[in-house]
Amino acid sequence: MAIQAQSIGTSQPRRPSVEVKSNRLDSALAAVSLYAAIKIIGLIGLITWSAFHQKSAHELLGRRWDSLWYTRVAESGYSFTVQAPDGRNLSSMAFFPLLPWLEDAGSRIGPWNASDTGLAISAVSSLAAALGLFHLGRHVHSARAGVILACLWGALPVGIVQSMAYSESLFVALAVWALLSLLRDQWMTAGVLSLLAGLTRPVGIAISAAIVVTAAVVLATRRSELSRRKHISVIAGALVSPLGAAGYIVWVGQQRGKFLGYLDVQAEWGNGFDGGIAFAKFLAASLGNSGILSAGILLALVLLCVWPHRIAWKQRQPIALVVYSAIITIMAVGASGYFGSKPRLLIPAFPLLLVAAIGMARARPAWTVVVLPAMTVVSSVYGAFWLNGSGPP
């Protein structure tokens, strides 16, 4: 099926036939099942590797690194801080609240503690994300592209994070369904899901930006076609979309006595944004610490970021997806914090994988049969090695 025209990225839903519904259900089931199989293979690899090194896979998934911070927020609120060896006070306010809220609620009504509830939330969220990725790929191109997209996302080299008590799976589930709602012209649903995503991770602003840009284009090009009710829906969805992230950042500012106090919290953790300069210098340092080399690497990084978005534009993907993935990519590559976390920060940039999914859907099936199993093996081995070694953050 040809890609839909992308100028604004929204379309009216069509009522499919019974036969088409059945085929879509089968494809959705295939996408989620294959995704789950990829995750199970990854977990088996982690459990085996961890047992060999006399470590607990359960602890690595749910009780290390950021998982501990989310658990502390769930159990103690935002009063928890740790003093770093260099004297910096690391505040739990660096972590957005939706995941710990859900962990706290789940631990109160269920049989698990906050940490294990976080693992359950990630498991359910990752399946919801896979289902949303299938529907996104089908909406933009074809059911086959949707199945491939879900599998590609699951088989990322750092895909093991999707099974950890981290916020990535929850965020992507909210993000993909928000964008899918936007493409289906369901503005208030998109706005509310964007609000929730903004309470999950700071990059929730990327979803809001996608909604606001799409709303601006719709109001500029289709104003005369919109009913009063739809006009209000478009504006309301755009206005609601940033409230989650904005609300939390304002709250942190109030706690810190400074409007942009959240930036100070991030600075204390060593996080900031410099457009990728520090990352380029970090890469150049291992090759000869040259200013010219750093500039060259920075230029290469910019080109690598631009190239997939250019392909997406040529594929006429909806503008909302291009805006969303561009902001995610800029925030990940341009961050000046711990450089080992950049692959993990790109996990939410799933529209970049849509470029590859469409290409594979157009190619011979043999490519998919070879590429996806190979990626699954690499992801399983790397995930087990990574968590038993340096691991996240």
pLDDT per residue over 329-372, tens digit each?
Answer: 999 888 877 666 888 999 999 999 999 999 999 999 999 999 99
Local structure of 270: helix, strand or coil: coil
Rounded to a whole number of angstroms, the distance between the first and last alpha carbons of the chain is: 40
Q: What is the mean pLDDT of residues 129-143?
A: 97
* Residue 72: strand, helix, or coil: helix
> In sequence order, which residues have a C-beta less than 8 Å from that of residue 192 and are 6 or more positions away?
240
CB atoms near residue 269 (< 10 Å):
17
Directed axis angle between helix 98-109 and helix 114-140, to 10°? 120
Q: What is the pLDDT of residues 171-183, one digit of tens each?
A: 999 999 999 999 9
Question: Hey, what are 304's tokens?
Answer: 């690598």
pLDDT number for residue 16: 43
Q: Residue 165 and residue 126: Cα distance in Å, rounded? A: 11
Contacts for 84 with CB less than 8 Å, ≥ 6 apart: 90
Give the CA diameter of the chain: 67
Beta-bridged to residue 91, according to DSSP, are 81
List of residues 6+ apart from 29 with CB closer than 8 A: none
Confidence band for 84, pLDDT divided at 50, 70 and 90: confident
Q: For the whole model, what pTM was predicted?
A: 0.92
Domain locations in the chain as residue ranges: 18-351+365-387
For residues 388 and 55, is the Cβ–Cβ distance under 8 A? yes
Q: Which two tokens stand for residue 257?
A: 């006595």
